[in-house]
Amino acid sequence: MNKEKKFLLAGAVAALLLGGCGDRQENEGKALYEESLELGASAADNAAAARAEELLQRAAELNYAPAIFHRGRGMLRSPDADVQKSGFEMLQRAAGAGHAEAAYHLGLCYDRGVGTDRNPVLAVRCWQQAAAARWADAMVVLGMAHANGYGGLERDMGKAVEYYTAAAEAGNPAGAYSMAVCHDRGAGVRKDAAKALDYATQAAGQKHAEACLFVARAYMEGYGGAPQDCARAIPYLKVAVKAGNEVALLELGKLLFDGHGVKQDYPGAVRCFEQAAARGNAEAFCLLGACFDRGLGVAINPAKAAVCWKKAAAAGHPRAACFLGKCVASGHGATRDLQQAAKLFAFSAQQGDVLGAMEYAACLMKGLGVPKDCAAAVEIYRKYAETGNPSAMFHLGNCLESGAGIKADPEAARDWWRKAAAAGHMQATEKLAP
């Protein structure tokens, strides 16, 4: 046998031997990895947990990609920057070995700057690698990247929809919910409420919190062909609440408060509002303040009501600012201060709250906490009267009757009172009585 043939034969044998070693190594790594997961899932003490970690480490040392990824992802949760960097490097190894989920999480590292410097372009490349391997979560974030023109991509809603659709077809709830939003808004597809509800229902079936809230609101509002039935919204809201969605918590509280779809339950509503308020939700503070003010589900406590409204107003809630203004104007649960009350009413009015606008106009008309300015008050009344607000119609009629801030016109005054009375304003009806 000549040297060339011997060399080729030796190479073939070496390849077979190395291939066999590679297979054995992978099988051993897989066995150790699976044993680690099984032991970790049932670990009853520190010793068992340590043993599971040891097995995982050994599997990673055998270059078993799932073990490398699993270990690297665990290291990324560490508060230590050096440990995070090591975890990032392990994800790089796993992704380099073709592990799709590792590529997806590697993209998240680049996106958020965890274990490495932030790099949107590399984030997108990692997600493209994972999406090419049909990893559905990567399809969703890649769709978002196209929708927002992120990581060097041009903004392209059509491309975003392609990725969302592929993810939804793969059974991914985030992909289905994204398609629901697209059809709801007409973004990248024709606006279609029925399709939006279908996709949201698909995602809600997998307990996707935002999708559950979407479906619940569809039943509350009769959207997308759903019957208007608050009772059918309740189970979806409860799933979203369990997942930690504070908006769903607030909506459930409102239904309990009003008795829509369920038996009216003020204490239950208060509990929902308190939980949402604990997360800083401004509307929850506003509603909780109303409960304390009126004694609904809790004992009447004007001071607590004022505190709740103060927190909501500080977060920019216009109706809460109006309610707090009333407390401050009257000294009800708060120190009386007409100037502060006027400021609160003005803020509420600037944010478009009609009740706050009416209160601020009253301050201007009477000079309470601000210089008297009847003409400015008339402009506020006119603005809201022309949009159909009964209170504004009534007060504009009063100004026209007396000539306060505007030229007196008794007939025009009666016209506005008639409109207000037709809208159910009792004082306007009394004005028109013989």
415 assigned to some structural domain: yes
411 assigned to some structural domain: yes
pLDDT of residue 26: 75
400 assigned to some structural domain: yes
CA distances from 357 to 82, 218, 341, 404 (A): 56, 32, 12, 18
The number of domains in the chain is: 1
3-state secondary structure of 254: helix
141 assigned to some structural domain: no
Residues of the chain with pLDDT under 70: 1-22, 40-44
Please state, in angstroms and rounded to a whole number, the distance separating the CA atoms of residues 37 and 216: 37
pLDDT of residue 22: 59
3-state secondary structure of 6: helix
Q: Which of 369, 352, 359, 284 is nearest to 324 (CA)?
A: 359
Domain with 422, as residue range(s), is 385-434
109 assigned to some structural domain: no
430 assigned to some structural domain: yes
Which spans in 170-264 are helix H? 173-185, 193-204, 209-221, 230-242, 246-258
E strands in 329-372:
none
428 assigned to some structural domain: yes
404 assigned to some structural domain: yes
pLDDT of residue 14: 33
CA distances from 284 to 271, 288, 351, 434 (A): 10, 6, 18, 46
CA dihedral sign of residues 275, 280, 282, 288: positive
First to last CA, the chain: 128
Please state, in angstroms and rounded to a whole number, the distance separating the CA atoms of residues 116 and 104: 15
Q: What is the pTM of this model?
A: 0.80
**Model confidence pLDDT, tens digit, residues 366-386:** 999 999 999 999 999 999 999
Contact 256, 238 (CB under 8 A): no
pLDDT of residue 9: 39
Please state, in angstroms and rounded to a whole number, the distance separating the CA atoms of residues 123 and 113: 10
pLDDT of residue 40: 67
DSSP state of 345: H
Please state, in angstroms and rounded to a whole number, the distance separating the CA atoms of residues 345 and 357: 7
Ramachandran region, residue 264 (left: φ > 0; alpha: ψ -120 to 50; beta: rest): beta
Question: Tokens at residue 202, please?
Answer: 């698909």
Give the length of the chain.
434
